[in-house]
Amino acid sequence: MKIQTGQGTIPLITLVGIWSISALNALPGLAVSPILGKLAVIFPKSTELDIQMLSSLPSLLIIPFIILAGKLNEKVNTIWLLQSGLIIFALSGVLYLLSDKMWQLIAVSALMGIGSGLIVPLSTGLISKFFIGAYRTKQFGLSSAITNVTLVIATIVTGYLAEINWHLPFAVYLLPIVSIVLSFYLKNNMDKVEPATVSEKTTAIPSGQVVIEGKLGVDIKKLIQIMLFYGLATYLVIIISFNLPFLMKEYKFTSGNSGLMISLFFLAIMAPGLMLNQIVGLLRNKTKFYSLLSIAVGMALIVVSRTEWLIGLGCILIGLGYGVIQPIAYDKTTRTAIPKKVTLALAFVMSMNYLAILSCPFIIDFFQSMFDIKSQQFAFIFNGCIALIAAVFAYVKRDSFLFDDKL
């Protein structure tokens, strides 16, 4: 079966290889989550800092290695770089299963962060390499959907595995082995993709929508706009993972209830990716406005209601809003750089995802202390207000490069 790319066709197996890499983006830190509460018992001599490092170290190391991978991609063969990252990732999975000391788990977490960081920008970089125009937009949507549905499924699986043995959740980190096999199919088709002709002074992006001038090959101003917007959007919604369990506890719900709400959130992120072209085609330059408005309304529902189904609806609205923003941000990034620099540009944008995840708890804690508010509702009120302000700004600037999402 052949898949249309906008510049020819590729075999379905090649596309499956790209999708398999997108699936891996959801895995770092995932296996640790089900056993966080047990680590103090499993390792009685471990400190709180040890446990925090085990869960946060992969994200911390992913950020610099995402940028490094984006830069190396300009000089090193893409498939070689991809396979190196996949091997490191898979090796960390094997070592996790063999580790029985806290320091070993921390060291392996660092190794996994390196491997994951090397492959994250390549997942989107390969899409921009093979696809153009509306075909590319569609694939960014599907890639986002695959990442989030993998997150939901893997979360459920690791939770069950943790009940059997605390080592078993780490088995999900062996999935890169599948991608290693599929990468050889990618290599065969990469050789058939003709590199775009690049001019040193003026270079047009394949879609013909943007012209990049200068020797850098990247429109720095537009790239920074996308980075800041994507980082803000990620920060706004990540409180569902961080703060909702505590709010649900304050509302007298069980941990099972909060787990269900978080699953609804990630499933909602997945949904828009399946029909991204249709959504953008309908909403056009108001796409980000409606997405941010959906996030703001979702926050409001979570705050004003203590009814489970309304909280669930709020999580769904927040997820739908972000599910549109995420792949569009990636697609928009491809229009800020010449083909040779696209993966590097994507690396900078994708690093904002992990930066937002790391900084979110500190930002909420800072403003909570500033206003001396102890309620768990604060994070949702605060982020809801920011989302509403951002939505108004998106409407006012709807014809600018950042917010005009016409296909």
Q: Which CATH superfamily is domain 211-396 in?
A: MFS general substrate transporter like domains (1.20.1250.20)
pLDDT digits (tens, 9 = 90+) for 24-73: 988 887 777 777 767 778 888 888 778 778 878 888 899 999 999 999 99
Q: Which residue has the higher pLDDT, 251 or 291?
A: 291
375: left (phi over 0), alpha (psi -120 to 50) or beta: beta
Q: Smallest Cα–Cα separation from 223: which of 352, 91, 118, 392?
A: 352
Q: Which CATH superfamily is domain 2-194 in?
A: MFS general substrate transporter like domains (1.20.1250.20)
Per-residue tokens: 230 = 């994507």
Q: Smallest Cα–Cα separation from 292: which of 326, 321, 260, 251?
A: 321
C-alpha angle 334-79-356 in degrees, rounded to nearest 5: 50
> Which residues fall within 8 angstroms of residue 29, CB to CB, at 6 or more apart?
55, 56, 58, 59
Distance CA 160, CA 166 (A): 10
Distance CA 285, CA 406 (A): 6
Is 272's pLDDT higher than 90? yes
Is 142's pLDDT higher than 70? yes
212: pLDDT confidence band, cut at 50, 70 and 90? Answer: low
As a residue count, the chain comes to 407
Q: Which residue has the higher pLDDT, 396 or 9?
A: 396
Q: Is 199 within 8 Å of 51 (Cβ atoms)?
A: no
Alpha helices in 276-341 (DSSP H): 276-283, 287-304, 308-333
Q: What is the mean pLDDT of the chain?
A: 88
Averaged pLDDT, 113-119: 94
Domain with CATH 1.20.1250.20 in the chain: 2-194, 211-396
Q: Is 43 helix (H, G, I), strand (E, B) or coil?
A: coil
* 2-16, 211-225, 260-274, range with the lowest pLDDT: 211-225
Q: What is the pTM of this model?
A: 0.89
Q: Is 383 helix (H, G, I), strand (E, B) or coil?
A: helix
